[in-house]
Structure 1
Amino acid sequence: MRAFPTSLVLSLALPFGFTTSLTSTFAADWPSFRGADRQDISRESGLLKEWPENGPKQVWLNQDVGLGYSGYAIVGDSLYTLGARDAVEYVIAVDVATGKEKWSAEAGALLTNNWGNGPRSTPTVDGDHVYAMGGKGTLVCLTKSDGKEVWRVTMESLGGQLPGWGFCESPLVEGNLVIVTPGGPQGTLAAFDKLTGTPAWRSATWTDPAQYSSIVPVDHHGTRQLIQLTMQSVAGVNAANGELLWKNEFPGKTAVIPTPIFSEGQVFVTAGYGVGCKSFKIGADNSIEELYQTLEMGNHHGGVVLVNGHLYGFAEKNGWTCMDFKTGEVKWVEKRTLGKGAIHAADGMLYLLEEKTGTVVLITATPEGWQEHGRFTLQPQTTQRNPKGMIWTHPVVSGGRLYLRDQELLFSFDVSGK
C-alpha cells in the first residue's frame, strides 16, 4: 500500500430540509452529505434492531481510498468519496458490492494545515455527474461513469477566502444549479449551471465569509429557500436568484460546523466552543420569532438529527442528548457509556460513532432514554492519521450496508437484517 501524507478534516455537521432536486436515485441511494434531503435519516426499513456480540458482519474493507475525512455518496452500484494520495486530492469511485476502486480523478492540490492534510467534504451525485469540493476550494464536475472532468471553478476566483480548516461543505444540487459557499464581498453563496459551470447568481446582499456548514434546501410558504450558517449569522436566500429573504444573528467562535435543521417553519442551529444552540420560527412573510437559546445542545461537529419531533446528538455540556425540537426541553442525557462523536439515523435507530476510539453503538431513537442494542470497535484503524485527528467521518446506512471510514480505510458492514 502506498504511503500517503497524513490528513485531517472537520466532518461538517447538521441538516434538514425537504426533498432536493437530485435525480436518478433509488430508495436506498444516499446521493449527498446527509442524504438527498440533508436530514441524515436513511429511509430504509427491515434493518437489524440488535447487533451480534461483535457487531454486524463486515462485507469488505478497502484500504486505499486516500487520507482525509470526506464522507460518501452512494448511488446505484457505486460509492463516491474524496481522498488524498501523495500531494493530490482525488474523487474516488468504489464498487459497493466488492469495495474495489472503479476510478479516481484529480480534485485539486493538497490542503495542508496544523490538524492534518486532505479533503474535507462529501461528493454530491446528480444524474450523470458527480460534484465535489477539494479542501482548497476547487469545485469539480465529473462524469459519474468514468470520472472524466466536465468543468471546474475555484472559490478563490469567486472572492472566497480559505477558512482555517479548509473548505468543508458539500455541494448542493438544486434543479439546474449547483450551489456552494465561497463567502466574501461578492456574496456568501454562489450558483452555477450544473452542466456547464456558467455562473447563475450570487447572494450579493449577504456577504459573510464561508465557514464549514452545508446548505439546506427547504420549501417555505411556496418559496424554495436555501438556508446556510456562517460565523456571523444564519440566513435564507431564494433558490431561484440568491435574493436574501431573511437573516438572524448567530455569532460563532473558532469554527461553526453543524448544518441547520428546518421543519415546519422552525429553524435550529448549533455550534461548539461554548456557543450552544438557537431556534426560531420563520413567518409566512419571512419575519423571525425567537423560540429558545440554550447551551443544552451545543454540538461541535458530528451532527444532530431530528427524529419524530426530537433532536439527538452529542452536546458539549451534556454528552449524548435528546431534546424536544419545538421547546428545547431536554429529555435525557448520557455521558458515561460513550464519548463524543457522529450520529446517523435509520429505521427508528441511531448509529453513533465515538471519534476517539472508533466505538460504534446502536440505540433506539426514543425520548424515553438511552436504549442500547449493540456495539463494536472499528478494526483495523489507520496508523497514518495526524495525532490531532480522530475518526470524524459520519456513519451512513445505504442499501442495507453501514459505511464507516478512518482515513484511507473504508468499511462496509451488513445491517440489512436478512
Structure 2
Amino acid sequence: MSFSVESRSLPLITTRAISHPAVMKSFLAFALAASCFPVASMHAEDWPEFRGPDKQGHSTATGLPTEWSERKNVAWKAELPGRAWSSPVVIGDVIYMTNAVGKKDSTDPHDTYSLRVLALNATDGKLLWDTELFNVDSPHTFGVHGKNSYASPTPIYEGGRIYAHFGHFGTACVNAADGAVLWKNDTIKYSPVHGNGGCPVLVDGLLVFSCDAAQNPFIVALDAASGSERWRFQRKADAKKTFSFSTPLVIEVGGAKQLISPGSNVLSALDPQTGKEIWHINYEGYSVIPRPVYGNGMIYFSTGYDRPSVIAVRADGKGDVTKTHIAWTIDRGAPHTPSMLLIDDGLYMVADNGMVTCADAKTGKIHYQERVARQTSASPIYADGKIYIQDELGSGYVLKPGRRLDLISKNELGDKSLASYAVWKNKLLIRTQSALWCIGQG
C-alpha cells in the first residue's frame, strides 16, 4: 500500500507502460500534442462528473441530435483500447475519461492492467495526454461482474484538477492541463464483490465515496487537495449481502448540506464535513447501483436486488425515519442499474429490462409503464426538452417527457454500450465497447 503526493510537471507514464503497443500510440500522440493542447476551464455547458452539472442527468444544451447511426450525424469517432465503462466528462473543449488497458490481452483478467486517465480534444477526438495511475497485476483476485470493468467509476473535474477513482485499486488526482499526477492514494482497502462501480462526489474540499464491500461497508472522505483520509463512516445495517455500488448525492435541506448515500439495507444522510449521520431509513435490498435524485423535498432512490422498489423519502428528518418519512413506494419497474430522472412533477425510470415508467413524483401514481429499450445499464439524461436512453446493445432512444409515452426515434450504433451519456455543446458523447462517439448535427 502507498499514499503519495506528486509534484511532477509532466504526466506519469512509466517506461514499462510505454513499452507495450496499446499505450505506445497514446504516448506518441501526447508528445506531438503537448505543446498545443487546449487548457480546460469551467464553462456554462460543461459536464464535469457522472450525470452532469446538476448531478441528476439534466443539461441546458439545445440543438442535440434526435437521429444518428454509425454513419449519420457522427462528428467523429475515437477508437479506445482496453475495457472501461466509466462515462466521459467534458470541460470546455476537453474530454476526460478513465481507462483500463491490459498489458498483454485487454480481455484477459489474469493480465497486468494499466489503470489510466486520458484527455481528448472534443473538436476532433484526438488524444491530448494519457497518464498511467496504477499498475495492477491480476486484478481479478476479487472477481469482476461480466458487465463491470476495472475502470467503471466516472472521473470528476474541479478547479483545474481531475479526480480518478478505481475503487479498491486506488484514487488519484491529476492536473487537467497535462495529466501530471498531484497525488495518489491506494490505502483505502476492502474486499469488493463484482468489482467497482460507484463514483465519488466532491463537496467543500472533500472527495467522498462509498466502499460497500463483502463485509464491513463504509463511506470515506479524502482531502481533495492532498488525498489524505479525513473521515470514515461505518454503515450500520443488518444486511446479509453488504455490497453495493451507488454514487452519493449532495443536497441542501434547511440551509445545511446532506450527503445522501444508499447502501445495502440502508439509505444514509451524513454531514459531509464530519461524516456524522443526520438520518437514515432501512429497507430490504443489496447491490444498490443507481444514484439518487432529489426534488420536492424528497429523495428518490432504488433499493437494488432481489425485489427492487423505488422509494420517495422526505429529507428533513433526524435519526431513524423509516416509519415516519417514507412518502410512497413503487414496487414494479424499479431499476437495478440506471439512475432516474426527475423532470418537473414527473419521475422517469428505466428498468434494466428496458421498461420505461413515468410516475407522479409527489404521489407515486404511475402514469405509464411500457417496454421501450432492450437490456439497459446506462442512466438516461434530459436535454433540449427530451429524454435520451442508451441500451446495452448500442441503441439510443429519444422520448418526449409527459404522461403518455411519446417515442421520437430509435438509433443504432451497433456496438455494446453500458456507459452513460455526456453532453458537449449541441452534441452527445457516447462511449461504447471500442470507441467514443461524438454525435451531432454538424
Normalising by structure 1, report the TM-score.
0.83
In the alignment, structure 1 residue 347 sits paired with structure 2 residue 362: no
Q: What is the CA deviation profile of residues 266-304 of structure 1, one whole-angstrom value per residue up to 9, with x for unaligned ones? A: 111112442222122133656541222232241011221
1:162 positional shift: 3.1
Contact 1:67 1:84 in 2 (8 A): yes
Q: What is the CA deviation profile of residues 336-386 of structure 1, one whole-angstrom value per residue up to 9, with x for unaligned ones? A: x4223231111210111121x21111111222x22122222114x3xxxxx
Which of 180, 196, 212 is the equivalent residue of 1:167?
Answer: 196
In the alignment, structure 1 residue 100 sits paired with structure 2 residue 126: yes
1:225 positional shift: 0.6
How many residues are treated as equivalent by the alignment? 381
In the alignment, structure 1 residue 125 sits paired with structure 2 residue 157: yes
> Which letter does structure 2 place at the counterpart of 1:351?
Y
1:262 positional shift: 1.6
Contact 2:68 2:412 in 1 (8 A): no
Equivalent position SS for 1:189: strand
- In structure 2, do the counterparts of structure 1 residues 237 and 60 end up closer, same or farther at CA, with 3 Å as the change threshold? same
CA RMSD, 1 decimal: 2.7
Contact 2:96 2:119 in 1 (8 A): yes
Q: What is the CA deviation profile of residues 235-279 of structure 1, one whole-angstrom value per residue up to 9, with x for unaligned ones? A: 1001121110001113214x2111112213211111244222212
- In structure 2, do the counterparts of structure 1 residues 142 and 280 end up closer, same or farther at CA, with 3 Å as the change threshold? same
For structure 2, the 5+ residue unaligned runs are 1-19, 24-39, 103-112
> Which letter does structure 1 place at the counterpart of 2:399?
I
CA distance in 2, matches of 1:284, 1:222: 14
* Larger mean Cα displacement after TM superposition, 181-190 or 104-113: 181-190
- In structure 2, do the counterparts of structure 1 residues 371 and 174 end up closer, same or farther at CA, with 3 Å as the change threshold? same
Which residue does 2:84 correspond to in 1?
68
> Which letter does structure 2 place at the counterpart of 1:34?
R
- In structure 2, do the counterparts of structure 1 residues 395 and 161 end up closer, same or farther at CA, with 3 Å as the change threshold? same
- In structure 2, do the counterparts of structure 1 residues 109 and 166 end up closer, same or farther at CA, with 3 Å as the change threshold? farther
- In structure 2, do the counterparts of structure 1 residues 162 and 331 end up closer, same or farther at CA, with 3 Å as the change threshold? same
Which residue does 1:239 correspond to in 2?
272
In the alignment, structure 1 residue 191 sits paired with structure 2 residue 227: no
Matches within 5 A, 1:225-236: 225-236=258-269
Equivalent position SS for 1:181: strand
- In structure 2, do the counterparts of structure 1 residues 242 and 90 end up closer, same or farther at CA, with 3 Å as the change threshold? same
> Which letter does structure 2 place at the counterpart of 1:141?
C
Contact 1:54 1:375 in 2 (8 A): no
Which residue does 1:40 correspond to in 2?
57
Which of 47, 63, 74 is the equivalent residue of 1:30?
Answer: 47
Contact 1:299 1:316 in 2 (8 A): yes
1:199 positional shift: 2.4
Which residue does 1:180 correspond to in 2?
209
Structure of greater Rg:
2
In the alignment, structure 1 residue 292 sits paired with structure 2 residue 309: no
Which residue does 2:253 correspond to in 1?
220
Matches within 5 A, 1:132-143: 132-143=164-175
Q: What is the CA deviation profile of residues 303-345 of structure 1, one whole-angstrom value per residue up to 9, with x for unaligned ones? A: 211111211122368811111111111111221x422323111
Equivalent position SS for 1:81: strand
Contact 1:61 1:412 in 2 (8 A): yes
Which of 82, 88, 97 is the equivalent residue of 2:98?
Answer: 82
Which of 316, 321, 344 is the equivalent residue of 1:308?
Answer: 344
CA distance in 2, matches of 1:319, 1:308: 21
Normalising by structure 2, report the TM-score.
0.79
Contact 1:74 1:80 in 2 (8 A): yes
Which residue does 1:376 correspond to in 2?
411
> Which letter does structure 1 place at the counterpart of 2:165?
M
Which residue does 1:265 correspond to in 2?
297
Which of 401, 414, 420 is the equivalent residue of 1:394?
Answer: 420
For structure 1, the 5+ residue unaligned runs are 5-22, 382-389
In the alignment, structure 1 residue 408 sits paired with structure 2 residue 434: yes
Q: What is the CA deviation profile of residues 11-67 of structure 1, one whole-angstrom value per residue up to 9, with x for unaligned ones? A: xxxxxxxxxxxx95211100000113211111223434x537988510111112531
CA distance in 2, matches of 1:65, 1:250: 41
Amino-acid identity (%): 22
Q: What is the CA deviation profile of residues 216-242 of structure 1, one whole-angstrom value per residue up to 9, with x for unaligned ones? A: 000011211100011121110011211
CA distance in 1, matches of 2:70, 2:409: 8
Matches within 5 A, 1:331-342: 331-335=367-371, 337-341=372-376, 342=378
In the alignment, structure 1 residue 151 sits paired with structure 2 residue 177: no
Contact 1:320 1:340 in 2 (8 A): no
- In structure 2, do the counterparts of structure 1 residues 99 and 265 end up closer, same or farther at CA, with 3 Å as the change threshold? same
Equivalent position SS for 2:163: strand
Which of 309, 314, 323 is the equivalent residue of 2:359?
Answer: 323
Equivalent position SS for 1:28: coil
> Which letter does structure 2 place at the counterpart of 1:102?
L
Which residue does 2:231 correspond to in 1?
201
CA distance in 1, matches of 2:145, 2:281: 32
> Which letter does structure 1 place at the counterpart of 2:405?
W
1:396 positional shift: 2.2
* Larger mean Cα displacement after TM superposition, 390-399 or 26-35: 390-399
1:127 positional shift: 0.8
- In structure 2, do the counterparts of structure 1 residues 324 and 65 end up closer, same or farther at CA, with 3 Å as the change threshold? farther
- In structure 2, do the counterparts of structure 1 residues 320 and 205 end up closer, same or farther at CA, with 3 Å as the change threshold? closer
Q: Could you list the structure 1 runs, at least 4 aligned residues long, displaced by more than 4 angstroms after superposition.
A: 1-4, 52-56, 183-187, 204-210, 284-288
CA distance in 2, matches of 1:34, 1:73: 9
CA distance in 2, matches of 1:181, 1:316: 22
